[in-house]
């Protein structure tokens, strides 16, 4: 009978070796490479108005891409463009569908503001870890107030955010694992926080697994937001708190995102001429990246 202990010892050492692996967040890009990104979101919103529950269901999707226009040891240059926007809305007895690849939709009532979004492009330069060094233009001009845009913006907030140029000094889409001398080990974590005019957030990331081909990063976060909207002459203010959980699958060889899943649960109130209306929502999103 062969001894069992050498096998156990070998297995233990293998486990120790795997668990002790370190990863460096430096990304690898190839000049001319196109990274096609799909984003799909599903959101359920519940409101209480005049003693009645009102539910809204919104599915939205976006296909966009980054083309690598130049790459060096010190930085990468990329051009961003949007290929497709679509959404489905069901609430208050109304249903609405839109797909920018459908000529009838694109030439219809919602077509003009969506066409403007699809035409927006920007160039950016990032450092080897994905931090934005320069973005041109650094922002897009705000369109004139338009009820159609208010409707679209409310339905597709997360989708529309990917169209906007990232801010200089902030993390781009490609920044996940931050730089650290010696790299980061399985189980190590880091926290990112910040604020905008309408939102405050704090998110903690942890490297949960490292294999020969992938790096898995789990994250949890808390945020709060205060937004205002105007529709048909009436202004409303929505105050929300959000709890987020998710997982990022990175390609170990390039440290590029393969897939990112996010779930967010929110609660708050909308203050309007109708009084304070309780509001809850849950949204899930899936991002997938494919090199072309």
- Kindly tell me if the per-residue pLDDT of 79 is higher than 80: yes
Mapping DSSP onto H, E and C, the string for the chain reads CCCCHHHHHHHHHHHHHHHCCEECCCCCCCCCCEEEEEEEEEEEEEEEECCEEEEEEEEEEEEEEEEEEEECCCCEEEEEEEEEEEEEEEECCEEEEEECCCHHHHCCCCHHHHHHHHHCCEEEEECCCCEEEEEECCCCCCCCCCHHHHHHHHHCHHHHHCCCCCCCCCECCCCCCCCCCCCEECCCEEEEEEECCCEEEEEEEEEEEECCCEEEEEEEEEEEEEEEEEECCEEEEEEEEEEEEEEEEEECCCCCEEEEEEEEEEEEEEEECCEEEEEEEEEEEEEEEEEC
Q: What is the mean pLDDT of residues 24-53?
A: 90
Average pLDDT over residues 220-244: 86
Phi, psi of 31 (to 5 degrees): -60, 135
pLDDT score of 156 more than 80: no
Give the CATH number, domain containing residue 283: 2.30.230
Q: What φ, ψ does residue 11 adopt, rounded to 5°?
A: -65, -40
Instruction: Give the pLDDT confidence of 258-279 residue by residue, as tens digits.
Output: 999 999 999 999 887 777 888 8
Among 87-96, 113-122, 182-191, 231-240, the range scoring the smallest mean pLDDT is 231-240
Task: Confirm if 215 and 252 have CB atoms less than 8 A apart.
Answer: yes
**Which of 25 and 56 is assigned the larger pLDDT?**
25
Average pLDDT over residues 146-157: 59
Residue entry with tokens 């984003």: 39
Given CA atoms 71, 76, 77, 82 in this order, what sign does their dihedral have? positive
Of the candidates 248, 263, 288, 261, the residue with the CA atom closest to the CA atom of residue 23: 248
Least confident window among 49-58, 175-184, 191-200 = 49-58
For residue 2, pLDDT over 80 is answered with: no
The boundaries of the domain holding residue 127 are 5-291
State the total domains in the chain: 1
Q: Which residues contact 6 (CB under 8 A, 6 or more apart)?
A: none
Q: How confident is the model at residue 196 (pLDDT cuts 50, 70, 90)?
A: confident
Specify the higher pLDDT residue, 153 or 256. Answer: 256
> Mean pLDDT of all residues in the chain?
87
pLDDT at 14 over 50: no
């Amino acid at each position: 009978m062969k001894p069992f202990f050498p096998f156990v010892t070998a297995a233990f050492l293998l486990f120790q070796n795997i668990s002790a692996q370190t990863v460096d967040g430096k990304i690898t890009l190839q000049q001319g490479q196109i990274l096609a990104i799909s984003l799909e979101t599903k959101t359920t919103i519940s409101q209480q108005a005049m003693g009645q529950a009102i539910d809204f269901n919104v599915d939205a999707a976006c296909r966009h891409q980054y083309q690598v226009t130049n790459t060096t040891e010190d930085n990468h240059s990329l051009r961003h463009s949007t290929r497709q926007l679509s959404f489905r809305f069901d609430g208050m007895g109304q249903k609405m569908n839109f797909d920018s690849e459908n000529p009838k939709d694109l030439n219809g009532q919602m077509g003009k503001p969506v066409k403007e979004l699809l035409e927006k492009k920007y160039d950016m330069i990032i450092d080897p870890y994905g931090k934005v060094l320069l973005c041109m233009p650094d922002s897009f001009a705000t369109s004139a107030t338009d009820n159609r845009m208010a409707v679209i913006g409310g339905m597709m907030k997360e989708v529309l955010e990917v169209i906007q140029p990232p801010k200089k000094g902030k993390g781009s889409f490609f920044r996940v694992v931050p730089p650290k001398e010696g790299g980061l080990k399985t189980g190590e974590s880091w926290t990112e926080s910040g604020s905008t005019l309408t939102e405050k957030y704090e998110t903690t990331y942890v490297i949960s697994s490292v294999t020969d081909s992938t790096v898995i990063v789990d994250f949890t976060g808390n945020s709060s937001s205060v937004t205002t909207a105007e529709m048909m002459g009436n202004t409303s203010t929505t105050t929300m708190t959000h709890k987020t959980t998710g997982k990022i699958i990175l390609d170990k060889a390039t440290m590029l995102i393969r897939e990112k899943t996010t779930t967010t649960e929110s609660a708050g109130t909308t203050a309007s001429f109708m009084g304070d209306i309780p509001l809850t929502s849950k949204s899930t999103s899936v991002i997938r990246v494919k090199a072309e």
